[in-house]
Structure formats: C-alpha cells, structure tokens
Structure 1
C-alpha cells in the first residue's frame, strides 16, 4: 500500500519494519501531551509573574516575555498534533490548520534560538563591556531585538509555508511536515535553515558565553552564589542548543537525504524516519528548559514569583541567607562584574 512518507520502492515492501509508525502513534502523543501540560502551566505562570509583578521591565525582561509568548503560541498547536498522531495520521482540520501547525512548530524552534541568542549577546555586553551595561538594559534595545527576532524567524519559515500540505491517500488525509514534503525543494532549504537558523546562532552563543566565562573566572569569589547562578545559566542554554536542537537538525537532513535516494534500503529508510520522529519532541523540549531559565536569569523574577504566590512561608530562612551572603570587602572589579551580570538579568 502506498504511503506519502516513502518512495514507491519502499512503501510496498513486506520485509520493512513499521517501527516509525509505532513511534508516531505512541511516542509522539505521549511526549507532546506531557510537554503541553508542563508548558502551558509553566509558561502561563511565568507570563503572569512578568506582567503582574516584575517591575521595572528591562531589555532582558522583554526578551524573556517574548520567549514565553513564542512557547505559548506553539502550545496552541500541540493538541491538534497530538490528536493527529493518535488518529493514525488522519488529518481532518483542513490544509490551513495543517500549514499553521507545521509552521508554528518551526517558528517556535527558530524563534527560541534567536531569543536565546539575543539574551547571550545582551549578557556579553553587560559583563564583558560593563561601561555599556546601563545602555543595553534599556527597554528600547530589548524591544528592537525582539522585533528583529520575530521578523527573522518569520522570514526563515515563510518560504515553505505553502509546501506544508495535505495529501489524501489510503482513505485518509496526511498532513506532511517539512522533511516529508518535496525532497528536491526541502534538501537545499533545510541546509539554509540549519546554517542560518541554528549554526550561526550557536557560534554566536558559544563565543559570547566563552568570553563571559573568562571574565567570571577572574579575581576572588569565584564560588559566589551569583557566579554559580551565572554558570548554571550558561550550561542550561548551551545544553538546550546541543541536546534539543542538534539531533533534530542532523536527523532532519538525514531523513530528507534518504527520501532523495529511493534506492536506499527500506529498513534504513524506516529507522531514519523513526529517529527523526524521536528528535522532534526533543527539539521542543526547549520549552521545558526555558522554565528554569526565567529564575536563573535574575533575582527579580524569583522574588516576584515568591511574592505573587506567597511562597515565602515555605522558605522562612531565605531572607536570612540573602542577608548573610553580602560581600563585605571593598568594591573591586569582581564585584562590578557580578553587578553587571545581575543588572542585565533584572
């Protein structure tokens, strides 16, 4: 029986495994469902804290809020995707909704990458060039960065919006994703997306945080709570880039390549497809990684969260710990570096 996910030589082979079908039917709904529940609760909570309690807003605050909004936009599409895979690849919502769900998946991916890159650049300026820290935390720079982020993300994905299509076959309608669409078009386009949308931001983020770490290693107090928090933030963002985004881009390219070579082994084709399917929810796990990012990015969000939800009664010793953790030595360049890091995150 023919299938739009495979070439004619592979779709009818009786010796093929159906591992990719099993992964789609059971793994994708479970992962998307879990991410949806955690993502909706976490991001709505974060948005409420930012809107209701966090004052004043600075450039980093605006970037964080836009990151929350990007994640919440993807949350809108997740129930439709989950239902689609539970229904054994049977799309019933029309071509526009199909294109919207596929578009918003990639928009969330590359929008998140861009906003995390903006955050890294702002941190870099605040810590490595502290004389510009007061300027870079002004709201207009955060607004400008987010407008550019949204514009670039839309520009990256828009060229293939109409290529996300529905295909009626086998008495049901398939909603094809990017790697399952026309491989002759998607092969060069996927490489443009990978280089401009992922590799260039990854290089920028690595350079920024490498310079930041060099500055944070200087002087005494390298084990202070502020520096520990700074290192955790860097590790979290780099983990997101490597663990979430890297496998998806590699396996997407491999998936499109196997579709370009219809003479490829049937088993290889199915296993590559299965691996690519597994990488898709992992790519959007950045939504979960972003949740602790809001706390690590600065004390302002943490304090606002505690005040809004009256969590202070569960941690009565917090204020005492904060009071004790005061550096009593005269102001040095080290203290200035820590102040620059925190002012960028407040």
Structure 2
C-alpha cells in the first residue's frame, strides 16, 4: 500500500477501508471553492466599487464593511491555488511558501470575518439599545480603531499557525497539509485556543448583543417599521453565519484532530470524520456569500448607491413602461 499522510499507517485495516474522503477532496472541494471564487470575486469587487465610488458619507459601519470586503478579496487570491491542488488529486507543485500562504489566508479570512461581524454587532447594539450614544459610535474614528484592532488581534492569534503548516513528500508526491492534518500533538491545544478565543468568545458577545437588541425591538408600537424589519433580518443573517458556517467547522476540526490522536480509532470512523471535516471547510467560508446581503442591511445607503451606480432605476422604469405598453396593446 502506498503512503498516506492523513492516517496512521500502523492501522492494518486501512487496506479494506473506504476512500470516501479522497473522493470528496477531489470532486467536492474544487467545485465548492471554484463557485465561491466566482461569486466572491464578482460580488466583493462590486461591493468595493459601490463603497469607494458612491457611498457618502462614510460612517463607522461603512469602514467595517469595507474591511470585511477586503478580507474576503484577500482570501480570493488563495482559492485558485487550492482548486489547482485538489484537481491534481493532492499534488502540490508550488512550494512550501505558497502552501503556507494558502492555508494561512483561509484561517485569516475565517477569524477576521468572525471579528468584523462581532464588531458590527457591538456597534449595532449600541446604536439600538443605547441610542443616546449612537451619534458617537457612528463616527469614522471608531470604525478605524475597531478595524485596526481586528487586524492586530487576528494576526496575533494566528501568528503561530504559519509555521505549523508543512508539505510532505511521499512516493514522489508532495502534499500541502491542511491544519488538522499536521502534527496532531502540536495543533491539538492550539486548535482549542483558536476555537475558544476566535469563535466561542465572539459567539457569546454576538448572542448577548442580539438578545438585548431583540428585547429592545419588542418595545413600542411600531413593530413593522422598515428599520426594525431590517434589524431583524440582519440578526438572522449574522446568527446564520455563526451557526451554519462557523460551528460545523470548529466541531468537526476537533473531531478530526482527536481521531488522529487515537490510533485505535476504527478506520471507517476515521475516514468518515475526515470526509465530514473536508465538507465543513468550504462551508466555513460560505460567509463570503452571506456577507453580500449584509451590505444592503448595514444602514449606510449601500442599496441606494448600488442602484445609482448601476442605473438599476432606469432599467426598472424601462421595464415598467414596456409592461404598460404591452397591456395597452
């Protein structure tokens, strides 16, 4: 049997085990990453153009959203490398530096996005629950300060990760190993640090903020006004990102590393957990797609600016005139 860097080679049952995880990597990952790349590049470049060319004046929320766009676009740079790698069936030809860059940017986008969404949730909490301070929190300097802190904190919590990524050559084939497939003894404690500080703490902050916002929105007779409806949609979208995108990845990453720490793990279970972890990785960065509707709900005139810059209002008016003429005729 040829070598495989993803499993314990002392497990003799591997010869009769499923290779479902290999199939998932070869076909699922390129398709998902390719789709995310296409939608992400088009959507985020469009959003960046709208923010740079049309949205005025910039507020703190605008600055956070622009930084979120930049984080997503930075991740887009690494996706073609990952697609190329998995299309070649786990054959890395681009050197260890590019391997480390591609793996690092995945995590930088993940944890940077979590912190930017958390920042925006805190700002939204202050604006709705403590409206007497809303004029202060909207100032650009608070957006600049919060984004600077996000970049610094994200780099700090991920600084050990870069050198943990490694390439491995087996049977004249070079592998660019993902985080959970590297030295399990080293990454097990660090993975929990990332999970707690990078995901669980922000999740608690976001939940508390939105719990207080929901309580505040229940007050007063105007439950159906546009601002309240937009606020509720924003809450649903953010919590969906945390629950659907980020949670499965962190749970399955922990299971994946744990199975690698226990060589006696049943081979079928080992491969099944690995396959589930592989599936969770593109889902973790699907927040890039979920971020796109966030821009229209952020309250900084993005929707109006988008309509103006792409002349959607004229297109709509012409369509309405054509419909009227068709009805008359």
Q: What residue ranges of structure 2 are gaps of 5+ in the alignment?
A: 319-329
| Partner of residue 67, structure 1 | 68
CA–CA distance in 2 between the matches of 1:111 and 1:177?
19
Shift of residue 11, structure 1, vs aligned partner? 7.7
| Partner of residue 311, structure 1 | 312
Runs of 4+ in 1 over 3 A off after TM superposition: 314-317
Shift of residue 316, structure 1, vs aligned partner? 4.3
Q: How many residues align?
A: 317
| Partner of residue 145, structure 1 | 146
Q: What residue ranges of structure 1 are gaps of 5+ in the alignment?
A: 318-346
CA–CA distance in 2 between the matches of 1:58 and 1:13?
57
Please say if residues 98 and 166 of structure 1, whose CA atoms lie closer than 8 Å, have aligned partners that are also in contact. Answer: yes
Equivalence map 1:1-346=2 (5 Å): 1-10=2-11, 13-298=14-299, 300-316=301-317
Per the alignment, in what secondary structure is the counterpart of residue 159 of structure 1? Answer: coil
Per the alignment, in what secondary structure is the counterpart of residue 191 of structure 1? Answer: helix
1:124-180 Cα offsets, whole Å, 9 max, x none, are 111111111111110110000000001111111111211111111121100011100
Shift of residue 13, structure 1, vs aligned partner? 2.0
Shift of residue 9, structure 1, vs aligned partner? 2.4
Q: RMSD between aligned alpha carbons?
A: 1.2
Please say if residues 13 and 267 of structure 2, whose CA atoms lie closer than 8 Å, have aligned partners that are also in contact. Answer: no
CA–CA distance in 2 between the matches of 1:63 and 1:50?
11
1:69-111 Cα offsets, whole Å, 9 max, x none, are 0000000000000000000000000000000000000000000
CA–CA distance in 1 between the matches of 2:67 and 2:100?
23
1:227-249 Cα offsets, whole Å, 9 max, x none, are 11110010000000000000000
CA gap of 1:20–1:32, structure 2 versus 1, over 3 A, is same
Q: TM-score, normalised by structure 1?
A: 0.90
| Partner of residue 327, structure 1 | none
Please say if residues 32 and 82 of structure 1, whose CA atoms lie closer than 8 Å, have aligned partners that are also in contact. Answer: yes
Please say if residues 19 and 271 of structure 2, whose CA atoms lie closer than 8 Å, have aligned partners that are also in contact. Answer: yes
Please say if residues 115 and 149 of structure 1, whose CA atoms lie closer than 8 Å, have aligned partners that are also in contact. Answer: yes
Please say if residues 2 and 12 of structure 1, whose CA atoms lie closer than 8 Å, have aligned partners that are also in contact. Answer: no
Per the alignment, in what secondary structure is the counterpart of residue 168 of structure 1? Answer: strand
1:224-270 Cα offsets, whole Å, 9 max, x none, are 22211110010000000000000000000000000001111111110
CA–CA distance in 2 between the matches of 1:182 and 1:125?
43
Please say if residues 120 and 205 of structure 1, whose CA atoms lie closer than 8 Å, have aligned partners that are also in contact. Answer: yes
CA gap of 1:84–1:258, structure 2 versus 1, over 3 A, is same
Per the alignment, in what secondary structure is the counterpart of residue 161 of structure 2? Answer: helix
CA–CA distance in 1 between the matches of 2:83 and 2:196?
29
CA–CA distance in 1 between the matches of 2:264 and 2:55?
58
Per the alignment, in what secondary structure is the counterpart of residue 9 of structure 1? Answer: coil
Moved more, 105-114 or 213-222: 213-222
